[in-house]
Amino acid sequence: MLLVVLSLLLLTAYFGEAPNGRLHGIQRDFLTVVSPVQDGANKALKPVRDLFSWFGNTLHAKSQLKQALAQTEKLRRELVAEQGERRSYHELLALSHLDQLGVGDYRPVDATVIDKNPNVWYSTVTIDKGESAGVRRNDPVINSEGLVGKVAQAAPDGALVELLTNSAMGVAARIGTSRATGLVQPKVGDPNDLLLQYLPTSVQPNPGEYVVTSGTVTPAYPSLFPPGLLIGQVTSVNEESAYKSVNVHPVANLHNLDIVQVLTAAEGTRAANLSALTVSLPAGQSTGTVGSGGGEQLASTQVGG
């Protein structure tokens, strides 16, 4: 009975306090102490993990190869077309003086995933780089395939990364060929499916199209993520009354993350200022609040009307 009451007290206190409160601080301190042990255990258990993964990967390898070859051919054709469009895009961007955050504002930090939380409600991973490497809360996290998530909490020698499939995540995004933006959110319980919501009904998305981060569309609704980071591919389109939504398959294999890159913002850049601003906001409005929809809720408000 005592333990149940204690758990409820902890739950209430934790849920009610700000992200920089005492209990959150204890968690960060605990992570600092435990992360070297986790790192060691992760390295020791890697052969076991690799063995299990090898069986799984072998089963899927044949179908994946066929898929990859077809995709490579398609991408090669698209690349040629994209190069021309890209030049025009940059010219237009410069002409319209949009207050965009470019990837150049970020300094990538390589990190190794040391732990993964398999819980369907908390799609998170722990990485071995923290504040000492310049990693801060809300920094975008990518891997070689595309956007992976963002830093939810940072300790001196480790950080917690919320994956795209975390129930608290939301990312402002657009379909590659369209300028209309929406909000990518996970579907709880389905790690292979994301939902791009609040698209105008006039948009005609096609299955197979790529979904990328939209970045900051207007200065009033800044986004934490730089524009153009690949999120996934459209799998199907849902017809709804006021808005259109599409199902998106994430391109990054979130089940098997090993090496990731944290896009840390260099001091004094607009990205760093935006990140600092969002951290300082009270709980519920903060773009990086664990358990909230993230700064991309601001973007969604704008998108949604």
Partner 1 sequence: MSGASTSQLAMRLGAFALIVVFFQIGVVSEVPVFGVNAELCALLVAFVGLMCGSMVGAACGFAVGLFIDLALLQTLGLTSLIFTLLGYGCGRLRELRDPQNALTPLLVGVGASALYYVGYALMEFMLGVDAPVSFQLLRVVVLGVLVNTIAAVPMYVLTRRALEGAMPEDPRRRRRRRAYTTGGLSPLSKA
Q: How far is CA 229 from CA 122, 143, 173, in A?
A: 23, 10, 9
Q: Of 104 and 304, which has the nearer Cβ to partner 1? A: 304
* Contact positions with partner 1 (CB under 8 A) in 88-147: 115-122, 124, 126
Residues 223 and 124: their CA atoms lie apart, in Å, by 21
Interacting residues with partner 1 between 283 and 302 (CB under 8 A)? 290-293
Q: Report the residue number, 14 or 270, with the smaller CB distance to partner 1.
A: 14
If the CB atoms of residues 226 and 294 are measured against partner 1, the closer one turns out to be 294
**Under DSSP, is residue 104 helix (H, G, I), strand (E, B) or coil?**
helix
Judge whether 128 and 39 are in contact, CB under 8 Å.
Answer: yes
Sheet containing strand 244-250, edge to edge, reads: 171-175, 210-213, 230-239, 244-250, 190-199
Report phi then psi at 153, rounded to 5. Answer: -145, 145
Cα(275)–Cα(272) distance, rounded to whole angstroms? 5
Considering only residues 150 to 209 of the shown chain, the ones binding partner 1 according to CB under 8 A are: 152-153, 160, 167-170, 185-193, 195
- Of the listed pieces 33-41, 69-77, 96-104, 173-181, which binds partner 1 according to CB under 8 A? 33-41
7 binds partner 1 (CB under 8 A): yes
Cβ distance to partner 1 smaller for residue 124 or 261: 124
Asked whether position 59 contacts partner 1 by CB under 8 A, the answer is no
Q: Residue 213: name the closest of 258, 149, 153 by CA.
A: 149
161 or 271: CB nearest partner 1: 161
Least Cα distance to 143 among 123, 119, 127, 131 occurs for 127
* Residues of the shown chain interacting with partner 1 in the complex, contacts defined by CB under 8 A: 3-4, 6-15, 23, 26-28, 30-31, 34, 37-38, 41-42, 45, 48-49, 52-53, 56, 115-122, 124, 126, 152-153, 160, 167-170, 185-193, 195, 255-256, 290-293
